[in-house]
Structure 1
Amino acid sequence: MTQALVRRIFFSLLALIMAAPLLVVLGVSINSKKSLTFPPQGFNMGWYLDLFRMPDWSGALLNSTIIALFSASFAVAIAFPLAWFNWRYRLGWVKAILAIGLIPFLLPPVITAMGFLSFWTQTGLYGQYWTVVVSHGIFLVSLPLVALALGFGSLDDSLSEAAATMGANNRTILRTVILPLVRPYVISGFAFAFVVSLNEYLVAYMTVGPVLETLPMKIFNSLRYGYTPVMASASIFFVVVTVVVFSLVARLGDLPRLLGAHTK
């Protein structure tokens, strides 16, 4: 048995082990009976329809989508000027700010969530709808920040210098030269933040849980009243959205490079 064959068998088994829980959830989501059984007893895709036609589930899905869109936009709005300023001027204190921007995502989520809860409570703004958007944006800013840092790091300095010698100011250079080149990194940073925000539970629960229910909250809250296959269909929906988003990112740019791989 050759080494290549052993390696192939090993990684095939590893992929199967990692995919096994997802396959179980997929089977449960199409079970015709309202029970947590696998293999599925019958076939019923109606649970996926319930995710969109039942007001409580569709409302939670809409809340999660809106929060994820605004949170990802807010995260990119913070990350872009920081990454650009660091690339343009390369000052030490800017690198310190970039390092601080990574801290919320590196800490355990429960610690970050407790910090946001304490902050919004002390300011008297706890329970406002927009606090979860701000919290998610700050919590996830490291994702577009890393992607944009890679994008700006791949730029050739001579491009902006050539544009400057032709009379373009900093705003024109940013709009006509820099932005088109880093656009794939902006999109990938937005996509990463969107997917994580869509699936995030702790920060959302700590900042706006009693007022606004997201889809992850709905799944956890429904467990109190008994199992329903709609929970499994919601989980598969998350997986499908993640695959679609990252497939689009891979199509728009070099995904290994966007994920930090070095190219020769």
Structure 2
Amino acid sequence: MSFPKRLLPAIPALLFLGVFFLLPVAEMLMGSVQNSSGELSLENFERIAATPVYGRVLGITFWISALTALLSVLLAYPVTYLLTRLSPHGRERWMLWIMLPFWTSYLVKTYAWMLLLSRKGLVTSMAAQVMDNPSGLVPALSGVLIGMVHSMLPLAVITLLPIMRSIDKRLAPAAQTLGASGPMSFFSIFLPLSAPGIAAAALLVFITSLGFFIVPALLGSPREMMVAQLVISSVLDLFDMHFAGALSVVLLACSLLVFLIYDRVAGLSSLGGEAPKDRQSGRGLQLLFAIGHLCSRFSSGRQRSGDGVILPGYSVLLVMLLILPVLVVIPLAFTSSPFIAFPPKLYSFKWFAEFFTSPVWQTALLRSLGVGVATAFLALVLGFGATMGMRRLSARWRKSLFALFIAPLIVPRIVIALGLLYLFSRLGLAGKDLGLILGHTVLALPYVVVTLSAAFRQYDWRLDDAARILGAGTFTRLRTITLPLMSGSLMAAFLLAFITSFDDLTIAIFVSGGINTTLPKQMWDSIQLALTPTLAAVSTTLLVFIVLFAVVAQWVSRRSLSKREGA
């Protein structure tokens, strides 16, 4: 089959990214080198270089993002290691609990931490009594890190898991048969082989954190201001698109530099759950290999005392810490008081009634649901074609296309949002549902491609070959074999795309329009005014919705697993 025919399924996704990702970013780059009169000028970059506060904000952004990546990977690694040792059904149950906080809206999680860490919050009240702290406040930097690590830790788990599961389980028993202790076999074999997963998780968490503004804006102080907050302020408060573009270009350049270093160190393939096969792509991982072997020397004479209790105990505690902060919101939704206070005065349903009867909240909810479903379908169709197209190409072309398809995951969201504002303002799509769907699909497409790429590697293509030999056409094989066997992965990809759209605030701030906005944007506007019980009712409703969605996804995943086992 010729190259154009092999590439044919991926062409729609390539065209989509070319128009709604590459073109907007290019327009933003052009806008950054123009002054207010539209003339070519570097005055925006000179302003950034000459003003110390911008350099400080950039440094704070990298420092907070790096700490978030480090803490997330360190905390997630033991849990992920435990998941690799469980049965498929046991791992599925654990992943459900881990993913529930991940699927929960960033605004809901941040709202929960605001309630816990505020002056009269549960955590600060207890800390004030224990530590005799009269202010009862958690330091702003600590609060930002708590909120960001809580949001990013599940992402680290799901990034680590594919590579850690691909490690041959027979290696550790073989090492122990040859006399190595349990810790020695772990540090000398498992830890080095899982290094690409560590690098992939650190990269995704770091890049995602670079574009954060919700957590630092709501939990931090001006000293913890990040670049994304400056970009939003430049557009919405100062109406200076060109300067906002220059700030975004600086952030984009830093992100691309980190990405290039990562590709040199770990290899791009590890983002899709695949360990690097060539020596050169994984050469930079020799440091982790050396660390592993050094640790193995110190642990060579020790046995795994209590490993069967410590690791599960730690994992249970961590999962509880992921879930419990979000659950704090629920009792506050039933308070009879018009104010947020601990303990809440129960019981009343008036805040749910206010949410479900308010035209403003209901319009925002229905718009988010409609845009989310449309985004998930579009991203799934484009992502499935892109993944099918990449499967038929050589390794060199597959790596290049994979890099393009996951590029929106590498570029900070604030950069994409600003670029889309440039484009949609000209096309008349700003404030329209179609503009939101297109913008959210740009964000969701990488998650679909990564999810389906990992699923296709485990797919038994001999079934497809057998059907083709028996005379089944391409669409017949797709309808009767591929789609039914891939239904679990397709549902997972659909869910990720839907949650990405439903939870997005960055694109919504620039594109959603004024009065008729999305639910996250409406929550964002309300949170900045006051912490009200109505927000708790909205958050509780979203939690129930996410749980129901997760249960449906798990049911479909089990049916897909049963079909594969039957095949």
Please report the TM-score for the alignment, with normalisation by the length of structure 1: 0.86
Residues 29-52 of structure 1: per-residue CA shift (max 9 Å, x gap): 111111121210221133223222
Aligned to 1:26: 330
Select 1:50's aligned residue among 342, 350, 354.
354
Alpha-carbon separation, structure 2, partners of 1:180 and 1:16 = 35
Check the 8 A contact 2:445/2:497 in 1, yes or no: yes
Residues 20-73 of structure 1: per-residue CA shift (max 9 Å, x gap): 432332222111111121210221133223222221111111111111011111
Shift, 1:169, TM fit: 2.3
Aligned to 2:364: 60
Select 2:502's aligned residue among 179, 198, 201.
198
Check the 8 A contact 1:24/1:38 in 2, yes or no: no
Secondary structure at 2:433 match in 1: coil
Alpha-carbon separation, structure 2, partners of 1:188 and 1:230 = 31
Aligned to 1:189: 493
Aligned to 2:466: 162
Residues 132-166 of structure 1: per-residue CA shift (max 9 Å, x gap): 00110111111221222223222222222212222
Would you say 1:112 and 2:404 are equivalent positions? no
Stretches of structure 2 that go unaligned for 5 or more consecutive residues are 1-304, 562-567
Letter in 2 for 1:186: L
Change (3 A) 1:7 1:83: closer
Residues 74-100 of structure 1: per-residue CA shift (max 9 Å, x gap): 111110111112224456434422321
Residues 168-197 of structure 1: per-residue CA shift (max 9 Å, x gap): 222222222222221221121111111221
Q: Identity over aligned residues, as a percent?
A: 26
Shift, 1:246, TM fit: 2.1
Letter in 2 for 1:218: Q
Check the 8 A contact 2:448/2:493 in 1, yes or no: yes
Alpha-carbon separation, structure 1, partners of 2:537 and 2:378 = 29
Alpha-carbon separation, structure 2, partners of 1:211 and 1:54 = 14
Residues 110-143 of structure 1: per-residue CA shift (max 9 Å, x gap): 2222222222224443233210001101111112
Would you say 1:80 and 2:384 are equivalent positions? yes
Alpha-carbon separation, structure 2, partners of 1:16 and 1:190 = 27
Would you say 1:239 and 2:543 are equivalent positions? yes
Shift, 1:107, TM fit: 2.7
Aligned to 2:476: 172
Alpha-carbon separation, structure 1, partners of 2:461 and 2:317 = 46
Aligned to 1:93: 397
Letter in 1 for 2:453: A
Aligned to 1:261: none
What value does the CA root-mean-square deviation take over the aligned residues?
2.5
Q: Name the stretch that deviates more: 37-46 or 130-139.
A: 37-46
Check the 8 A contact 2:379/2:444 in 1, yes or no: yes
Alpha-carbon separation, structure 1, partners of 2:490 and 2:312 = 35
Change (3 A) 1:203 1:19: same
The 4+ residue runs of structure 1 with deviation greater than 6 A are none
Change (3 A) 1:169 1:17: closer
Shift, 1:3, TM fit: 4.9
Secondary structure at 2:342 match in 1: coil
Letter in 2 for 1:175: R
Shift, 1:9, TM fit: 4.7
Secondary structure at 1:253 match in 2: helix
Alpha-carbon separation, structure 1, partners of 2:357 and 2:443 = 32
Check the 8 A contact 1:51/1:234 in 2, yes or no: yes
Q: Name the stretch that deviates more: 201-210 or 65-74.
A: 201-210
Aligned to 1:219: 523
Secondary structure at 2:555 match in 1: helix
Change (3 A) 1:224 1:18: closer
Letter in 1 for 2:474: N
Alpha-carbon separation, structure 2, partners of 1:8 and 1:159 = 38
Aligned to 2:199: none
Shift, 1:204, TM fit: 1.7
Q: Name the stretch that deviates more: 55-64 or 143-152.
A: 143-152
Please report the TM-score for the alignment, with normalisation by the length of structure 2: 0.42
Q: Name the stretch that deviates more: 126-135 or 81-90.
A: 81-90
Check the 8 A contact 2:487/2:557 in 1, yes or no: no
Higher relative contact order (CA 8 A, sep 6+): 1
Letter in 2 for 1:32: S
Change (3 A) 1:6 1:151: closer
Secondary structure at 1:141 match in 2: helix
Select 1:253's aligned residue among 546, 552, 557.
557
